[in-house]
Structure 1
Amino acid sequence: MATMHSVTRSSICMDTVITVQCVSSHSRETIVAGIERAFTAFRSVETACSRFDENSELRRLSLKPGVAQPVSAVLFEALRFARQLAETTEGVFDPTVGELLERKGFARHYLTGCTPPPLPFPSTPVSYRDFTLDEQDRTVTLWKPLLLDLGAVAKGLAVDWANKELEGHEGYLINAGGDLLAHGYNELGNPWRIGIRHPHQPGQQIRTLQISDMAVCTSGSYERRSPSDDSTHHLLDPYTEASSQELLSCTVVAPYAMLADGLSTAVFLLGQKRGLQLLETMNIEGLVISSAQDIATTTQMRRFLYE
């Protein structure tokens, strides 16, 4: 029987600590090389999709409204998925909220502490209908001056791209600060156990999941607060321009991370009833925690819960 090695590495990227644990019969050198390629995938997605870097591809896109602009494959994929999710939720999830987020104080780069130069946007309403994608030419056209935000999908996409760099290893867990993908089994030969953070007790877990070959992403009101108003968190309803207050967090289990990432935000914004209904229609499982700390789940979510 082949000797199994377990290697864990961490790196800071995309405003969080990325940790990759790989369990494999390959040599340690091969495992480490795969993990380093996974970190490179995270950095590539951040370079393309960051709203906080004035030199990012996403930020530069906002400088030329009305022009069909060629974009990279990674940025196009993130925008394509974000627009599709916006259509599914009738705009409750909306990637054109970048300017709104910056007005609410969510504009500072996590590494430099700097705020990118403000863009001269008129105060006119915008929505996901104000940009279009051309799949054949891989171009994006903004029909109004607007600032896109991909914070609800980019990290999940990065997890999925990192996953490609680790294919061939027996087991691994990619943890990007609440966005996770688990493949195979851990060093004990068991499915991976994932804790869901208690929204009011840092360091405590309110539930534990046991998964293999699935992604888990959580969106919570505790994650980021406005520096100018502690009652405002980053999950903003584009219609009211206010933080959604019905839920404390939403966790989604899905076949890939960008889907789980986007849906966890969408369900949080939709609220418990509409959000869980959306997951049921998509055959995706999830768990929400209300502002009263009550827990509700989709019908089959119990199969992932570790008792």
Structure 2
Amino acid sequence: MRRVEHVMGFPVSLRVDDRDVPAGAADAVFAWLRAVDERFSPFRPDSEVRRLDRGALSRAAVSPDLAEVLALCEEYRRASGGAFDARLPGRGLDPCGVVKGWSVQRAADLLAAAGARRFVLNAGGDVVAAGGPWRVGVRHPERAGRLCAVLELTDGAAATSARYERGDHIVDGRTGRPATALLSLTVVAPTLTEADAVATAAFAMGADGVGWAAARPGCEVFAVDAGRQVLRTAGFPAAA
């Protein structure tokens, strides 16, 4: 089973190698991701996030899913010392730094519940995989079309935060200024929820974020700083 759709502003590709997984499993994955975009996008005026932000919805009335996302945002805000913050000064509520990884991991859980044992789900370069090994390329932060590393995933996830697609869009919540100390940072973790949030928070922290991410249980890191120096943890699963 192979399928690609454009959801949440980026391409999402699915490959399932199991022969006995029903085709409806892929339908459920993409229906879930479309629903997440409608409910949690900070750019849709009728989304749950926007209604909460403008006071049309009370905190007590939010859905269990949004409550979980907001709790994760607060967890990483505290863990990063405020570098990661879904409520930056002068901006509305934006939980996208958590929503992408959280929602794609939930989609992967739907696949597993449908019987999939060997699959890979790639959401704009962030990957969750099962039943590997799968080879995953890490894009070169300055040379489009080239890789700076290839990693191997068996059961786990990898997420990259970088400046090459959207410029200096990640802001350090402690200063209100764009984070520019790193060119890219990739985190490998047991789930994409953690890999994506840790990568975003670490990137916002700057140079100190590499060591912070590496100290998180179960996380391995590959980073390129603004001086073009490569930093990686000893356990980073580089492919042979």
Would you call these one fold, judging by a TM-score over 0.5?
yes
- Which residue in 2 is equivalent to 1:150? 95
CA radius of gyration, larger in: 1
- Which residue in 1 is equivalent to 2:238? 305
User: Over residues 246-282 of structure 1, what are the superposed CA-to-partner deviations in whole Å (9 max), with x where a residue is unaligned?
Assistant: 1001100111111111100111111233432343243
- Which residue in 1 is equivalent to 2:227? 292
> What is the CA–CA distance in structure 2 between the aligned matches of 1:279 and 1:266, rounded to whole Å?
12
**Aligned partner of 2:149 among 177, 184, 207:** 207
Among all aligned residue pairs of Structure 1 and Structure 2, give the percentage whose two residues are the same amino acid. Answer: 30
Counterparts of residues 20-99 of structure 1 (less than 5 Å): 20-26=14-20, 30=22, 32-64=23-55, 67-97=58-88, 99=90
Change in Cα spacing, 1:65 to 1:38, as seen in structure 2 (3 Å) is closer
> What is the CA–CA distance in structure 2 between the aligned matches of 1:234 and 1:244, rounded to whole Å?
8
| Conserved 8 A contact 2:202-2:212 | no
Counterparts of residues 148-227 of structure 1 (less than 5 Å): 148-167=93-112, 168-185=115-132, 191-225=133-167
Deviation at 1:51?
Answer: 0.5
Change in Cα spacing, 1:98 to 1:71, as seen in structure 2 (3 Å) is farther
Change in Cα spacing, 1:10 to 1:261, as seen in structure 2 (3 Å) is same
- Which residue in 2 is equivalent to 1:104? none
| Conserved 8 A contact 1:198-1:206 | yes
Change in Cα spacing, 1:99 to 1:11, as seen in structure 2 (3 Å) is farther
Number of matched residues? 238
| Conserved 8 A contact 2:202-2:208 | no
Deviation at 1:68?
Answer: 3.6
| Conserved 8 A contact 1:51-1:149 | yes
Deviation at 1:18?
Answer: 0.6
Secondary structure of 1:69's counterpart equals helix
**Given the alignment of the two structures, is residue 14 of structure 1 paired with residue 1 of structure 2, yes or no?**
no
> What is the CA–CA distance in structure 1 between the aligned matches of 2:39 and 2:103, rounded to whole Å?
11
| Conserved 8 A contact 1:42-1:161 | no
User: Over residues 11-51 of structure 1, what are the superposed CA-to-partner deviations in whole Å (9 max), with x where a residue is unaligned?
Assistant: 11111001001010316xx1x21111111111122122110
Q: TM-score, normalised by structure 1?
A: 0.74
> What is the CA–CA distance in structure 2 between the aligned matches of 1:286 and 1:266, rounded to whole Å?
13
Secondary structure of 1:282's counterpart equals coil
Gaps of 5+ in 2: none
Change in Cα spacing, 1:166 to 1:289, as seen in structure 2 (3 Å) is same
Q: TM-score, normalised by structure 2?
A: 0.93
> What is the CA–CA distance in structure 1 between the aligned matches of 2:89 and 2:140, rounded to whole Å?
28
Aligned letter for 2:238?
A: L
> What is the CA–CA distance in structure 1 between the aligned matches of 2:180 and 2:209, rounded to whole Å?
15
> What is the CA–CA distance in structure 2 between the aligned matches of 1:24 and 1:224, rounded to whole Å?
35
Secondary structure of 1:12's counterpart equals strand
> What is the CA–CA distance in structure 1 between the aligned matches of 2:203 and 2:152, rounded to whole Å?
22
**Given the alignment of the two structures, is residue 277 of structure 1 paired with residue 198 of structure 2, yes or no?**
no
Deviation at 1:215?
Answer: 0.7
Say what the alpha-carbon RMSD is for the aligned residues: 1.8
> What is the CA–CA distance in structure 1 between the aligned matches of 2:104 and 2:54, rounded to whole Å?
28
